[in-house]
Chain A
């Protein structure tokens, strides 16, 4: 590790330490009733790692993993669906101006509707609450993927297309060799945003319409006055969101090795 990386690591550690200290102090010392009800970090950590937790949720309980798996499956189902539909939709919109005209107006209207506003309709329309939660999660991820893909296709330098046509590429070649790789950086930006948005609306959807999952756990623990469990579920959501974003970034870096270690294009 270089000295620079070491220093960065130290600072990140120090950041956590400061945040935890502030949290601890505000719960323990601040003369505010609102803060006094919060669990302090030590209590949360003890509960989280307790073989026999007071409120039933810790890393040693099966229920904890049941909630994690439920949320993860929902997030990934929604995300994969969003990518499978959103990337082709974005490419098609960038590729065909006819399709763009059809789709752009519709998306422009649907996108600003907050995902949670869909929940009642989704429950009414869809066969199961499970599907409704995934649908709401899918929706935001889909818009993020589609629009970023579209921006990526539009941003491709037309000289690349001209050059490829000079070199004998047909329309299919252009799509495979120029459009897709050329839009890939922007597509991956979209995927990262989509993943973040998926977790975001998933937790909200689960609070309203699910029987298990981390969002449900937060709401359930709130109703049962199990405050440390709330924090455990929140932190777990944070970790899962971080890990899935990191995974996408890693995959992107692997697929776009041409972008690393570059001196830049001289254009």
Chain B
């Protein structure tokens, strides 16, 4: 087995986050726990505002937890007493995309290794072109600026930029949220191919239950705020995943198991939204 596969185990233990504890005291996360194995593709589904991004921000090191802790391969990554510090071990692909528009695709992709000084410019460029080529022939776009690419290409380049750092964990915060159905489906294919090539631990946050089931090994359903893990579901569909699995008996059975739970949480979130507005 590849050594990389033994790295990237995430342990989320009773994680809690209260925003503005002295004032409004928004409890975003409470007693949120999950054990994620190295190399596992995990999807987290939950209604809007349930604390998905909050959890991801704690893992990424953008923000501090107010209780509980998160460990990466046994090392504490986040806890109330740990100074949040982002780094190349866990790289985020953002909901709205965050390729630097003033850098070419190639400059974006080599940014991590050159800033960390783990690779020289030439070595980084060679590695970048190789990765871009493997990830669907993106190497031909190396000299273009992100603004000249389609949305799907921008997302894939951003994923390659993340993978260039050999992260233990790849954090994706609803990266395909704004896409139409056809592009989204194409992106699923690309993401699955990339994950097969570079089998990192993936944390994929989404609203979309079908997307979660199609992509992931394990799906967590979160409750409405304060966010906790409500259900965990192992997706025992074979890999590589194919589109006809979407109508397979197993897939539909899994969907039946969680759809009610997701709907219930969404309904709660919706009702609370109405109450808060009223």
Contact = CB atoms under 8 A, between A and B. Distances in A.
Nearest to B115: A168
Contacts of A184: 102
Contacts of B90: 166
Interface stretch (A86-94, A147-155, A230-238, A254-262): A254-262
Contacts of A160: 98, 100
Nearest to B112: A167
Contact of A262 (B87, B98, B148): B148
A52 interface: no
A267 B115 contact: no
B10 interface: no
Interface stretch (A71-79, A128-136, A175-183, A206-214): A175-183
Contacts of A253: none
B91 interface: yes
Q: How big is the A interface, by class?
A: 20 to 34
Contacts, number: 93
B151 interface: yes
B147 A157 contact: no
A165 interface: yes
Contacts of A264: 147
B98 A263 contact: no
A177 B103 CA distance: 9
Contacts of B149: 263
A182 to B, nearest CB: 7
Nearest to B100: A160
A46 interface: no
Contacts of A258: 101-104, 145-147
Contacts of B245: none
- Chain B contact residues: over half helix, strand or loop, or mixed? loop
Interface string A99-114: 0000000000000000
Contacts of B226: none
B161 interface: yes
Given A166-B88, A263-B147, A178 B97 contact: no
Contacts of B146: 258, 265
A170 B88 CA distance: 12
Interface of A: 157, 159-160, 162-170, 173, 177-178, 181-182, 184, 256-259, 261-267
Interface of B: 60-62, 86-88, 90-92, 94, 96-104, 111-112, 115-116, 145-151, 154, 161-162, 165, 178
14 contacts: A157-B98, A160-B100, A162-B94, A164-B111, A165-B86, A166-B91, A166-B112, A166-B162, A167-B111, A168-B116, A168-B165, A170-B115, A262-B147, A265-B146
- What are the 7 tightest A-B residue pairs by CB atom distance, in nearest-first order? A266-B151, A262-B147, A168-B116, A167-B112, A163-B98, A267-B96, A258-B145
